[in-house]
Amino acid sequence: MGIADARAMHPSIEIVEEDPQADRQLLESLADWCNRYTPLVSIDGDDGLFLDITGCAHLFGGERALMKDLLARLRHQGFEARAGLASTPGAAWAAARFRSPVVIAPGTEAELLAPLPLTALRLDAGTIAGLKSVGLRTVAMVMEAPRAPIVRRFGPQVVLRLDQALGSVDEAISPRLPVPPLSVERRLAEPVERMEDIERLVLLLSQALKPHLEERGEGAERLELILFRVDGEVSRIATGSAVPLRESWRIAKLFHERLSALENRLDAGYGFDLARLAVVSAATLEDRQQNLSGDTAAHEEDAAFFADRVRARLGSAALTEPDLRQSHIPERATSVADAPMAKAIPAGMAERPLRLLRRSDPIEIIDGASLDFRWRRVDHSLHGKEGPERISPEWWRDAAAGTRDYYRIEDQDGRRYWIYREVPQAAGEAPQWHMQGLFA
């Protein structure tokens, strides 16, 4: 009705402008929260959720206990919710809206649906109006009516919805989020808030995950820690590894770095009462013994694991490596790329400096005989040098570029540099010297 009519009937009524985007976000957050009951959660329209609890009900003491716990927790959060449980999504949808709370036994779907209005079949308003115009006002009337005339006049949707609700036609639920192939969880009698307790939970979960990974002959490449807060908020924390892993201490260390980076942004509220560790992606991992003593050197951090920890703490772009290009010009021969894991320096690249300047800096030669130079207003006395190494320009790219003579030099303090001079193109022209890079 109009606002004026509503206020005439209820002067104290509160008028709030509709915000469909916020409503959708709220429904999505509730879907995330319902993940504590089953990973198969789907959003239904603007106000509903489908939960496929097949194989999950026994964890909560049965179907009725699960539904009772779900409704009680939603009421505690301030939501008014209705629920129905049936062997088909269509029957559960109707039960939630017209018979809540109720559990429909398999095979009794027709008994539930028969007295209900046509809305219980999830039909659009136009189809419902058309069915009513020919005297079909309940689901029982549609069940008893001949199907062929209904299909000819109203299309196949009416019969399809009826068969889906009765179980004659299968109806699949598409989960909102991908279901991880492997996960372990722990429900807590008392919620935890401290970061130390969360890290201890991660270690326990990773220990429980290890035998399942061993049984599958796999190692985790990407993992996700899901923390369910008592007030309904859900936190998802993901980390990855360059190589498959299953050792619990390694997984715990990766999440230690990740949690340390998020400590100020992870709001525990009144605490987390459920923690789940899921393997988002996995790869084959074969067991191998590294030496005759049987010691697999589990406490030695290799370069790849070190890189994983750095990325977990500082982000995926924290480590980079040179990506080789088809060019002999130093500033064009490499580009910076994310480092998936530590790699050996290719043969022939060891003579290049570890750090190349983004743009070469001009330097001033103080003594041409000894190559003492001044760079960034600091004088350097030469202790030794190697070179020159002549690099010609790429004439097909830049015809005006000149030839360079490169030198590897070391100053009196043991610092090593890579400098070059531009070979003069005209007689009597003074050469220009530049700093290209620094060795380790």
With beta carbons less than 8 A apart as the criterion, state whether 416 and 351 touch: no
pLDDT tens readout for residues 278-335: 999 999 887 666 555 555 444 445 677 777 888 788 777 767 666 677 777 787 776 6
With beta carbons less than 8 A apart as the criterion, state whether 252 and 258 touch: no
Q: Alpha carbon 75 to chain centroid distance?
A: 30
What are the counts of helices (DSSP H) followed by strands (DSSP E) for the chain? 13, 17
With beta carbons less than 8 A apart as the criterion, state whether 355 and 437 touch: yes
> Which residues, in sequence order, are CB contacts of 169 under 8 Å at separation 6+?
160, 163
- Dist CA 99 CA 79 (whole Å): 18
Taking domain 182-287+298-314, whether its CATH number is 3.30.1490.100 is answered by yes
Give the CA distances from residue 414 to residues 97, 171, 384, 385, 409, in Å, rounded to whole numbers and listed in that order. 80, 74, 9, 12, 10
* Of the candidates 70, 78, 63, the residue with the CA atom closest to the CA atom of residue 33: 70
Average pLDDT over residues 409-413: 90
Q: Is the peptide bond before 388 cis (omega within 30 degrees of 0)?
A: yes
- Dist CA 351 CA 360 (whole Å): 18
CA angle 416/418/419 to nearest 5° reads: 125
The pLDDT score that the predictor gives to residue 335 is 67
pLDDT tens readout for residues 195-229: 999 999 999 999 999 999 999 999 999 999 999 99
Query: pTM for this structure?
Result: 0.70
Average pLDDT over residues 252-280: 90
The pLDDT score that the predictor gives to residue 330 is 81
- Dist CA 309 CA 318 (whole Å): 10
Q: Alpha carbon 325 to chain centroid distance?
A: 31
What are the residue ranges of CATH 3.30.1490.100 in the chain? Answer: 182-287+298-314
